[in-house]
Amino acid sequence: MDNQKDSKPIFLFCTGLSGSGKSYFVKNILPQIAPNHDFYNLKSATTRPMRDGEKDGREYYFREEPYFYTEKFATFLWVNKAFWNRNKPKWLYGVPEFEIMNNLGRDFTYDVIQPRYIRQMINWFTVKLNNQYDFKILWFQPPENSTEIVQKRQNMPNDSDVRAKNTCNLSDFTMANLTPDHKIISNPQQLYIDEELRNYLGR
């Protein structure tokens, strides 16, 4: 066993389509299977409107577009770029560098749809911080033929076109030069209290 690697804090990436259970896992399941870790969920800045029940600085940093061209970011996501036109707002997301630096040394989680943004984050850590974290990637997949998940994604507000057209499949991982460590099927009855996953994260 590599003791030096084991001494590093964990950076846990949760990637998968909207509605596949990433946020539920981080909030409700992760504390049960990794009780010795106090994971901090990195917050992104975003240009999207605030939704009911959200608070600036808690779920996201809600900012206008110019902020994204002046602030330094570890990741930068223009999620509707492929089908944007001038009559639409740009859906910009990104983790500001200060968000990481202010919490450096803690175990991190990062919830993101597409693997290419995991690659951005890992590259940033490699250049800026010389790989100070043990990176782990969970791939969340909805149950096959799940009409509930499909309907949930379609009904999410503000950026439903983004949610409908984004993908998170094996070719996306390959293009990002990544391999997921563990696959999670989003069925709460069989899902998450998985001994392999508990052992993987619970050290």
Low-confidence ranges of the chain (pLDDT < 50): 1-5, 189-190
| Domain CATH code at residue 23 | 3.40.50.300
Structural domain boundaries enclosing 176: 3-201
pLDDT the model gives residue 41: 94
Q: Which tokens belong to 107?
A: 């175990």
**Which stretches does DSSP call E strand in 37-155?**
40-41, 45-46, 61-62, 77-78, 92-94, 108-112, 134-141
Phi, psi (degrees; rounded to nearest 5) at 105: 100, -20
How many separate domains does the chain show? 1
Q: What pLDDT, on a 0 to 100 scale, did the predictor assign at position 2?
A: 43
Instruction: Note the pLDDT of residue 188.
Output: 53
pLDDT, tens digit, 9 for 90 and up, residues 160-173? 666 666 788 899 99
Whole-number pLDDT of residue 4: 43
- So what's the pLDDT on residue 134? 92
> Looking at residue 3, what is its pLDDT?
43
Answer whether 142's CB lies under 8 Å from 20's CB: yes
- Specify the pLDDT at position 144: 60
